[in-house]
Amino acid sequence: MAKAMKKQALGRGLSALLKDPENDIQSVSDKGADQLVGNIVELDLESIEVNPHQPRTNFNDEALDELASSIRELGLIQPITVRKLAYNRFQLVSGERRYRASQRIGMKQIPAYIRIANDQESLEMALVENIQRQDLDPVEIALSYQRLIDEVGLTQEKLSERVGKKRSTITNYLRLLRLDPIIQTGMRDGFISMGHGRALVNIETREDQLDIYERILEGSLSVRETEALVREFHDKPDAGETTAKPAKAMPDFAEDGLELLKAYLDAPISIQASNQGKGKITIPFHSKEEFRRLKKRITGA
C-alpha cells in the first residue's frame, strides 16, 4: 500500500511539473525531462486525444464494460502510453481500450507513460535501470520488459543482453501478463507468488484461472500444490466425456520441435502429427494484440 501511495504521489508531482507553462518539456534536453522519462504520470483524460491512424476502430461494448468494472475495482494495472503533442496536449500511443474504459466510469485522470522527442535511448536506460531495482514485484518487471519490446523495439534476444537475464527468464515474466487482472493484482499485493502465477498461466481461459486462484487462496496452497492442481485440471476429461481418451504418442520429430516452438513463439502451441510426417500446428491467441505479436514473430513484419 505504501508503495502504491508513493507511486501516486510521484505521478501527481510530475503532473504539476508538466503543467508549469514556464517549463514546457518538449525534449530530453529540457529541464525536468530526466524525471519524466520512464515514470508514471497522472494525466487529465481531457488532455488526451486518440490517434486518428489507430487501426482498431471497433470496440466491443461488453468487453469494455468488463474492463471498466475491473478498473473500478482494482485500478489500472498497466498505464497507457501517450506522446506529447504540445503544452498539456497528448496523443495515445497504446492503451485505447483502457482509456475508453476509464472514460466510462467517469475517471478524471489516468496513469500514463509519456513519450517525448528524442527520448528513445533515455527511455531504454530508464527501464533497464528500473528492472534492476530490488523492490519490484513480478508484474512490474513483466510490464517493464513488455515496454522495452513494444516501445523501444527490442527483441527478446536483445532484451536478454540488455538486462543480463536468460531469455527463458524473460519469457516466464512476460507470460504473467496473460493472467487475469485480478490474479495479477493478487501477485502484486503478495497474496500469491510468481511460482503460483507461472502455474496458473498454463490455464487458457481466465474463468478457469480465477477458479483455481480462489482455491489457492482458500486452501493457502503452496506452489507445488498449485502445480498439482493445474495438472489435475488438464488431466480431467472434457465436459460430456465419460472416460478420458488415451493420448496418442507423438512422433519424435514433432516432440523434439514442440518445446523449441513454444519458447520461440512464447505461446502454448500444440502439435498433431503422424509417423508419416503429416500433421498440423495449432497456435492459440486471445486478442488482436496477441495475434499481431505472433504474426510479427513469425514473419518479421
- Please tell me the predicted confidence (pLDDT) of residue 153: 85
Pairwise CA distance, residues 59 & 36, whole Å: 31
CATH number of the 1-118 domain: 3.90.1530.10
The second-level CATH assignment, the architecture, of 179-235 is Orthogonal Bundle (1.10)
pLDDT of amino acid 104: 94
Q: What is the pLDDT of residue 281?
A: 87
Residue 62: per-residue pLDDT: 85
Collapsing DSSP to helix, strand or coil, 10 comes out as: helix
For residue 6, what pLDDT is reported?
41
The x, y and z cell numbers of residue 31, run together, are 529541464
Task: Tell me the mean pLDDT per 10 residues along the chain, length 301.
Answer: 41 66 75 78 92 64 88 89 86 87 94 82 78 84 90 87 90 93 92 95 92 94 94 73 50 74 77 78 78 81 67
Write out the residue limits of the CATH 1.10.10.2830 domain(s) in the chain. Answer: 179-235
> Where are the alpha helices (H) located in the chain, listed in sequence order?
2-18, 33-36, 61-74, 96-104, 120-131, 138-150, 156-163, 167-175, 181-188, 194-200, 206-219, 223-235, 252-265, 288-299
Cα 100 to Cα 96: distance, rounded to the nearest angstrom:
6
Residue 164, Cβ density class (10 Å: 0-12 exposed, 13-18 middle, ≥19 buried): exposed
Q: Which of 42, 96, 129, 225 is catalytic?
A: 96
Q: Where does CATH 3.90.1530.10 sit in the chain?
A: 1-118
For residue range 128-175, what is the model confidence (pLDDT) as tens digits? 877 877 778 999 899 989 988 888 888 888 999 988 899 999 999 999
Q: Is 204 a catalytic residue?
A: no
